[in-house]
Chain A
Amino acid sequence: MVKKFMYINRKAPYGTIYALESLEVVLIGAAFDQDVSLAFIGDGVYQLTKGQDTKAIGQKNFSTVYMALGDYDVNKIYVEKESLEERGLTLDDLQHLVWEDEDEDWAEKDSIRLVSRAELSDVLDEQDVLLSF
């Protein structure tokens, strides 16, 4: 039985461990052949920003792992538009996450779907399992 799993990421990448441990669940969960999607809302949008440098805070920079999600068949990544705007960010501030579509001769496609708060609420409504971090 395939269920729709959505991981909701709400917190900044550093400061607490939620973002890193969310990513660990996503990577393990990818082996279970479920219908997986990720949502980034609130300060969670900072997790996807490019050019992260953690040297000065002595923490592991795990932002490159998001680039590998496509290889795990995790390719539905919803980013809430209002959350970006409220923080003065645009899509250009985020890493360019892609996946290769096996059905279209491995064509490279964008993983990030920019959605409004209202649209995201509809996507949430479709899910079977919501894991929020």
Chain B
Amino acid sequence: MKISLQINEGPYQHQASDSAIQFTKAALAKGHEIFRVFFYHDGVNNATRLAIPPQDDRNITEQWVALQKEHNLDLVVCIAAAQRRGMIDEDEMKRQGKDANNISEGFRISGLGQLIEAGIEADRLVVFGA
């Protein structure tokens, strides 16, 4: 089955990201295809490469990046939600004249159309959080 995920909450404050990572691993292990993971609302904060969780805790962004590398996942951060919350990649940093960027490798920024397309193309859209 072809599955898309929508992640609506930031890491750590909510368990939604952890559940989504575990769901992704389980679905891939069963031979399903993950069409796309779309980060919306505070979910865009999953993509920061600047978070420093305590050493005895999990690093959620790094878990996403590891999964992305291993399975070539399409991790998409909503640009409208990201800009509101100061999540910005190098291109946007230059375009907006900002002095820093924080989007991790493995994630790409794009529009809400990617969420609709994820709903159209996948057999199931599974929503985590909110």
Contacts and interface: CB of A to CB of B under 8 A. Distances in A.
A28 B80 CA distance: 11
Contacts of A132: 127, 130
A132 B6 CA distance: 10
User: What is the interface residue range for chain B against chain A?
Assistant: 10 to 19
A122 to B, nearest CB: 20
A17 B125 CA distance: 21
Given A5-B119, A17-B41, A32-B120, A129 B125 contact: yes
Contact of B125 (A1, A21, A24, A131): A131
A28 B119 contact: no
A14 interface: no
A62 interface: no
Contact of B119 (A3, A31, A133): A3
A133 B116 CA distance: 15
B41 A25 contact: no
Contacts of B6: 131
A133 B40 CA distance: 11
Nearest to B42: A17
A130 B125 CA distance: 8
B130 A131 contact: no
Contacts of A28: 111-113, 116
Contacts of B80: 21, 24
Given A3-B120, A32-B113, 14 more contacts: A3-B119, A5-B116, A21-B80, A25-B40, A25-B112, A25-B115, A28-B116, A29-B116, A129-B120, A129-B125, A130-B125, A131-B115, A131-B119, A131-B125
A132 B128 CA distance: 10
B81 interface: yes
Contacts of A66: none
Contacts of B81: 21
A1 B120 CA distance: 8
B16 to A, nearest CB: 13
A21 B127 CA distance: 15
A64 interface: no
A25 B119 CA distance: 12
Contacts of B111: 28
B130 A32 contact: no
